[in-house]
């Protein structure tokens, strides 16, 4: 089963050549709908392999939260839960490659996808990882700062006590309001610089700065539509995390495949 859009095979040369400004297309709501349909089709074409990436992501999330509770870092549970979806583009790298090969009608196995993912550490995607981790570090730092300033007189020794303080006290409401605004701003920044950058780095040999600038242009030239796509991702990921992260087994692969197709609609094919 193949999708309708076309992709390109990443060249073997690992040195990004100099490239001019990459053109971007106007994206409409219909493009998002078509990309969602194509993403769901890709998921159904390889459901086991696609679900593997979602399962890996879900298990990592469960273990991460468990470690925070075990270490007594109760305050980090909320920023970790909010920030966790922001690293999804890295977990979706294998899904991008699957969609690319499905578009070309190629047969592939586990080794083909995992090998391509392993090669990314030698390419520009490693710098994108640094950008993402830096923004996440800023998010945790700001969250901790707001926590200390607003809830300085509050005490909690376990997860239930923390949520009781945050959800049922005026100080907790103030803390949530400020934290939500800060988190929304940082999430918007990270979405803007990565939504197209991740798949384009997998697809083409360009530097990560060009990839980020292209991603920014796609968002700024299509603000309404891309904001809608960001809202779909955010709501879907957060709802999927409610049942012990298990919903991510299905939603992450579909969103990953969809992102690939949306990227190809937003960025014209490279000129040969």
Q: What is the pLDDT of residues 156-209, one digit of tens each?
A: 666 677 777 778 888 888 888 888 888 888 888 888 998 888 889 888 888 889
Q: How confident is the model at residue 258 (pLDDT cuts 50, 70, 90)?
A: very high
- Over the chain, what is the mean pLDDT? 81
161: Cβ contacts below 8 Å, ≥ 6 apart:
74, 155
Percentage of the chain modeled with pLDDT above 90: 27
Q: How confident is the model at residue 141 (pLDDT cuts 50, 70, 90)?
A: confident
pLDDT at 5: 46
Q: How confident is the model at residue 56 (pLDDT cuts 50, 70, 90)?
A: confident
What is the average pLDDT across 223-242? 89
Per-residue pLDDT at 4 exceeds 60? no
pLDDT at 155: 62
Are 1 and 41 in contact, with CB atoms under 8 Å apart? yes
**Which has the minimum average pLDDT: 65-69, 82-86, 103-107?**
82-86
Contacts made by residues 69-74, CB under 8 angstroms, sequence distance 24+: 69/159, 74/156, 74/157, 74/158, 74/159, 74/161, 74/162
What is the average pLDDT across 234-256? 86
Per-residue pLDDT of 31-43, as tens digits, reads 999 999 999 999 9
Contacts made by residues 226-234, CB under 8 angstroms, sequence distance 24+: 226/27, 226/195, 228/29, 228/32, 229/32, 229/195, 229/262, 230/187, 230/188, 230/191, 230/195, 232/32, 233/85, 233/88, 233/191, 234/85, 234/187
pLDDT at 80: 74
What is the average pLDDT across 53-57? 88
pLDDT at 272: 53
Which tops the pLDDT comparison, 247 or 88?
247
Per-residue pLDDT at 139 exceeds 70? yes
What is the average pLDDT across 59-82? 76
Which tops the pLDDT comparison, 123 or 174?
174
**Which of 57-61, 110-114, 122-126, 247-251 is the most confident on average?**
247-251
Can you tell me the distance from the alpha carbon of 272 to that of 269, in angstroms, rounded to the nearest whole number?
A: 9
CA torsion, ordered 141, 146, 147, 149, to nearest 10 deg: 130
- Return the closest-CA partner of residue 257 out of 15, 35, 16, 67: 35
pLDDT at 147: 80
Which tops the pLDDT comparison, 270 or 264?
264
pLDDT at 19: 54
């Amino acid at each position: 089963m193949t999708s309708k859009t076309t992709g390109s095979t990443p060249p073997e040369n690992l040195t990004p050549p100099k490239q001019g400004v990459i053109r971007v297309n106007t994206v409409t709501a219909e493009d998002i709908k078509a990309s969602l349909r194509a993403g769901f089709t890709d998921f159904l074409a390889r459901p086991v392999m696609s679900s593997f990436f979602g399962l890996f992501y879900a298990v990592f999330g469960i273990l991460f939260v468990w470690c925070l509770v075990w270490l007594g870092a109760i305050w980090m549970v909320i920023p970790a839960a909010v920030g966790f979806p922001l690293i999804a583009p890295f977990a979706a790298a294998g899904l991008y490659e699957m969609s690319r090969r499905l578009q070309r009608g190629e047969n592939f196995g586990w080794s083909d996808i995992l090998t391509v993912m392993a090669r990314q550490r030698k390419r520009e995607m490693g710098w994108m990882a640094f950008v993402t981790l830096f923004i996440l570090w800023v998010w945790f730092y700001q969250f901790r700062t707001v926590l200390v300033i607003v809830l300085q007189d509050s005490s909690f020794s376990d997860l239930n006590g923390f949520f009781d303080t945050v959800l049922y006290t005026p100080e907790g409401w103030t803390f949530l309001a400020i934290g939500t605004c800060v988190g929304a701003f940082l999430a918007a920044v990270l979405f803007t610089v990565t939504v197209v950058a991740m798949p384009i780095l997998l697809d083409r040999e360009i530097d990560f700065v060009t990839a980020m600038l292209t991603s920014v242009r796609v968002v700024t030239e299509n603000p309404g539509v891309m904001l809608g796509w960001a809202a779909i991702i955010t709501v879907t990921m957060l709802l999927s995390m409610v049942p012990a992260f298990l919903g991510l087994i299905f939603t992450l692969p579909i969103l990953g495949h969809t992102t690939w197709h949306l990227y190809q609609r937003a960025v014209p094919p490279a000129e040969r």
